């Protein structure tokens, strides 16, 4: 049936401001394209919940979420009241692991009419995907602290990479590249300095590449790769990276297209053994929260990715056309893109452009 159960988790800060715009556009798309959305809003996975309960989520959060077709997420974190590692390991990072969302898929695209901070770049020059490993790597709880509070204090945190976990995200990246015109994979590495895990990562890339003769590939060390994002973004088609490197690249890429406020992501479980989660790349932005000025496009583009995942490709494409129409209008853009609109005006304009 074309009725989709969606778990809605707005989170903190601007997450609560951009979520209603994402929902507005989803509902408009549903009515225009003949499907329906059954929303279940959750009040946990936010720092208000922590203030009341001393933890980010109830013990039975999995049962409360149930088995939705997807999770639509805003942003979490309010460092003034809850340390970031507590709020994030108590919510978003648990979802990614518990639901085995091993791909974090993050598009980077310069939209027509949007002022680009890289001089002389046109839409089409910046159009690639970051495929970020999302369940292991540098984000690990293996390690510890010794001699705390003494001058001999030692902290150790291991990077954990498994063949299973690495190969499956590499496979996803090569499969994605095979569907694209340029058919090219770039691997983010650091095998000159990180001498155990990263040479091994390079080997796994070479092994995987053998299965995809139609796809070309190359690699850059992460330091020069960040420079190439700025200097030659037109080189990239699909960029595959470990958890931490992918995190960094997926803020840098969108910044090169004008703002991180438009960037979406899919935390995807490609095997569909559990729900996937769709959210903007950005965080809760405490510096602008409460003002109603946040860019809602990251949330709205995430809705489009979610619909694509659910099989509603026409509605997803229509949302992207509406986003492009609105972003080309300075009067309808938000302040991060030197526009004059507030969050709601921008969101309403996109919903209206759908019709
Ligand atoms: P951030 O993404 O929240 O903000 C970085 C900068 O970008 C800020 O100046 C902010 O105002 C601006 N910005 C972000 N989104 C915007 C939007 N939609 N429109 C206009 N401007 C926007 O990153 P941060 O400051 O490092 O983190 C703030 C909090 O969010 C922390 O608690 C952090 O842990 C958390 N965080 C959560 C997520 C997530 O839930 N996925 C992602 C990143 C950061
Ligand atoms: C992101 C965020 C998270 C990450 C943080 C908030 C833990 O930066 O989704 O990119 O590092 O994955
Ligand atoms: Mn990030």
Q: Which domains does the chain have, with CATH numbers?
A: 1-102+264-355 (3.40.718.10), 127-256 (3.40.718.10)
* Cα 353 to ligand 1 centroid, rounded to whole Å: 27
Stated pTM of the model:
0.98
| % residues pLDDT > 70 (the chain) | 100
User: Per residue in 142-177, pLDDT tens?
Assistant: 999 999 999 999 999 999 999 999 999 999 999 999
Quote the distance between the C-alpha of residue 2 and its chain's center: 25
Mean pLDDT of 67-84: 98
User: Is 4 exposed, middle or buried (CB count within 10 Å of its CB: 0-12, 13-18, 19+)?
Assistant: buried
What the block records as the tokens of 243 is 């958890």
Task: Write b or e for each residue in 124-142: b if 16 or more Cβ atoms lie within 10 A of its Cβ, otherwise e.
Answer: ebbbbbbbbbbbbbbbeee
What's the distance, Cα to Cα, between the start and end of the chain in Å?
23
The two structure tokens encoding residue 213? 């003769």
Choose one of 14, 71, 82, 93 to mutate for the ligand 2 pocket test, by most ligand atoms within 8 angstroms of C-beta: 93
**Is the pLDDT at 355 greater than 90, yes or no?**
no
Average pLDDT over residues 274-295: 98
- Cα(185) to ligand 1 centroid in Å equals 28
Beta partners for residue 218, in sequence order: 186
Which pLDDT does position 287 carry in this prediction?
98
- Give the separation between CA 25 and CA 351, rounded to whole angstroms: 5
CA of 282 to the centre of ligand 1 (A): 5
The residue among 293, 327, 309 whose CA lies nearest residue 6 is 309
What CA–CA distance (Å, rounded) separates 272 from 100? 9
DSSP state at residue 160: B
The first and second tokens of residue 76, run together, are: 């979490």
Q: Is the pLDDT of residue 179 over 90?
A: yes
The pLDDT tens digits for 316-331 are: 999 999 999 999 999 9
Answer yes or no: is pLDDT of 84 > 90. yes
Average pLDDT over the chain, rounded to an integer: 98
Atom 23, ligand 1: which residue's CA is nearest?
A: 283
Looking at residue 156, its pLDDT comes to 98
Cβ neighbours of residue 212 closer than 8 Å, sequence gap 6 or more: 174, 177, 178
**Closest ligand to 296 CA?**
1
Choose which residue among 10, 46, 77, 259 to substitute to test ligand 1 binding: the one with the highest number of ligand atoms within 8 A of its C-beta: 77
Complex ipTM value:
0.99
Question: What is the spatial distance between Cα 328 and Cα 257, in angstroms, rounded to a whole number?
Answer: 13
What pLDDT is attached to residue 118? 97
pLDDT score at 1:
79
Q: What is the largest CA-CA distance in the chain?
A: 65
- Whole-number Å distance between alpha carbons of 243 and 103: 10
Ligand 1 atom nearest to CA at 75: 40
pLDDT digits (tens, 9 = 90+) for 118-150: 999 999 999 999 999 999 999 999 999 999 999
């Amino acid at each position: 049936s074309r009725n989709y159960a969606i778990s809605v988790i707005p989170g903190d800060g601007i997450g609560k401001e951009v979520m209603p715009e994402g929902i507005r556009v989803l509902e408009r798309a549903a009515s225009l394209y003949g499907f329906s959305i059954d929303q279940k809003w959750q009040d946990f996975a936010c720092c208000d919940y922590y203030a009341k309960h001393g933890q980010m989520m109830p013990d039975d959060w999995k049962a409360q979420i149930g088995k939705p077709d997807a999770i639509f997420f805003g942003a979490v974190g309010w460092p003034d009241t809850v340390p970031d590692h507590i709020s994030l390991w108590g919510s978003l990072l648990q979802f990614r692991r518990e639901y085995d969302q091993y791909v974090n898929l993050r598009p980077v695209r310069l939209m027509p009419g949007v002022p680009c901070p890289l001089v002389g770049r046109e839409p089409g020059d910046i159009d690639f995907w970051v495929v970020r490993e999302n369940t292991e790597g540098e984000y690990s709880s293996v390690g510890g602290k010794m001699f705390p509070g003494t001058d001999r204090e030692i902290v150790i945190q291991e990077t954990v990479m498994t063949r299973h976990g690495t190969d499956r995200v590499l496979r996803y990246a090569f499969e994605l590249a095979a569907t694209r015109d340029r058919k090219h994979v770039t691997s983010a590495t650091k095998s000159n300095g990180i001498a155990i895990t990263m040479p091994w990562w390079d080997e796994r890339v070479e092994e995987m590449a053998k299965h995809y003769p139609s796809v070309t590939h190359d690699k850059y060390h992460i330091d020069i790769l960040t420079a190439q994002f700025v200097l030659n973004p037109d080189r990239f088609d699909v960029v595959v990276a470990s958890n931490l490197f992918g995190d960094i690249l997926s803020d840098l890429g969108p910044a090169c297209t004008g703002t991180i406020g438009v960037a979406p992501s899919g935390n995807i479980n490609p095997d569909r053994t559990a729900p996937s989660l769709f959210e903007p790349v950005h965080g809760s932005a405490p510096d602008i929260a409460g003002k109603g000025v946040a860019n809602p496009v990251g949330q709205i583009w995430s809705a489009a990715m979610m619909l694509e995942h659910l099989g509603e490709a026409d509605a997803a494409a229509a949302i992207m056309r509406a986003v492009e129409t609105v972003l080309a209008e300075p009067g309808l853009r938000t302040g991060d893109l030197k526009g004059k609109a507030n969050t709601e005006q921008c969101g309403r304009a996109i919903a209206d452009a759908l019709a």
